Chain A
Amino acid sequence: MKPEDEQPSEEELREAAALAAALENEPAGGGAPTDALETAALLRHARAPLAVPPAHAPVVAAHVAPALEARRMPRPRRSRIWIAISVVAPAAAAGWLFLAQSPMRAHRHPIQPKIHVAPPAPSSGLLAAQAAATRSGDAPGVALARLDREMRAYRRQYHEGLRRVHGGAR
């Protein structure tokens, strides 16, 4: 620290002029000494409370509103995706197997006439079980078990129909 009455050097005069310009936000303030600028900032902010103005709250609320709104939007539940996969994948596999084996079966039994057996109409219990399995979000286990029972009953019914037409061969 220099005594206040000491003659300033060229360097100090240049620093003082740059500081004065910087405090006035003038372009010439670019070379102002950092230590003096930091101290000036501290003193300037010390004269008023370091408080966020109350008017800032609604500004922030508006700024974050889209991010808040995005959090309020419901997201697709994973369990529903898995239910859809568990229904579609076996059906696709069964369809592929049926198509792949059809030519071989036709080759083995070329002269057998085709007998169409219409599948039975699904029961109201089966439809209700399907609907429940699609809806059940967080506890799909119970609904899927019920759907499985209903599907077994339906398949039994269908196979009985096939046996009646084909004379109980299977």
Chain B
Amino acid sequence: MFKQLAVVCVGLIGFSLQAGEVQTFENQFGKVDVPVTPECVVSLHDFSLTIQLFELGVRPCGSVARKRLWSDAIFRGVQHRFNTEGLMYVGSHKSPDEEAIAVLEPDLIVGLSYQNKFKAKLDQIAPVVILATKDKPIKEWARQLAELTGKSARFEDQQKEYDWIIGEFKRLVPEPEKITVTTLEIYEDNFQLIGRGGLDEVIADMGLSRPQGYLEAKKGINYSLERISDMDADIIIDSYEPLLDSREDTADFRNSAQWKNLFAVKNNQFLYLNRSRYGDSMGGLIGSAYLLLSHIAERDFKKQ
């Protein structure tokens, strides 16, 4: 009789372990006990985490978004690719509404490094995992996110596709370090050196190089448009935000002699992208990689 009791006990224990299976996730922000297959994930950043979750096949139940006056919240980079019905808006990424998150009763909350200060409050609703997106490459935190949600297989597929593109590029372009690329964003009276959609990471992976002016300059500073000639390169990539009419506002500069004198512009090697097209996710990396592959390796490309 004891034997049967033991079997039943073991069976019961095994069953209970499976029902609420928990794993420990650890990164530089600490250890967190998270469920193995979370059912309701809340993302605290729309442009990277939410997009990546959707790409992994996980439908988050809530996400932060950008708000336009009188219109619904916009989940940047997600709305044009995925069905966002049922995705709840939980506030801005600078101050997410804890109550709105609590209403959803999530079992996992993911955020970025600058949102670490919300962890104390949000920890009471659900386990909070902070991922380092600023200093680490997209591949790394996307892998961590896949592990968290049990979708590592899907991530491996994305990684495989990306690696193939890089391989293709290296095959077709023998000396990539001789090609210079500038990624920037031009505004009405100044410009910043930003590469959206993981472009900077792709450029580094492909072995492409940057013009001297770019290397000496700093990120995050608004430079005067007069300096644009310092950033001249074989190919220049700019992006615009469709919600903001930045295309129209900067049209005058693109008609100016200063601009038209640039090597990249003279040789039709200037790309102007919709900023929301590629998010900061594996999908963004893949898209940007295909972009560069096509514009550099698959056509008659002129170098300075």
On whether the two chains bind one another, the answer is no
Q: Which residues of B contact A (CB under 8 A)?
A: none
Residues of A within 8 A of B (CB): none
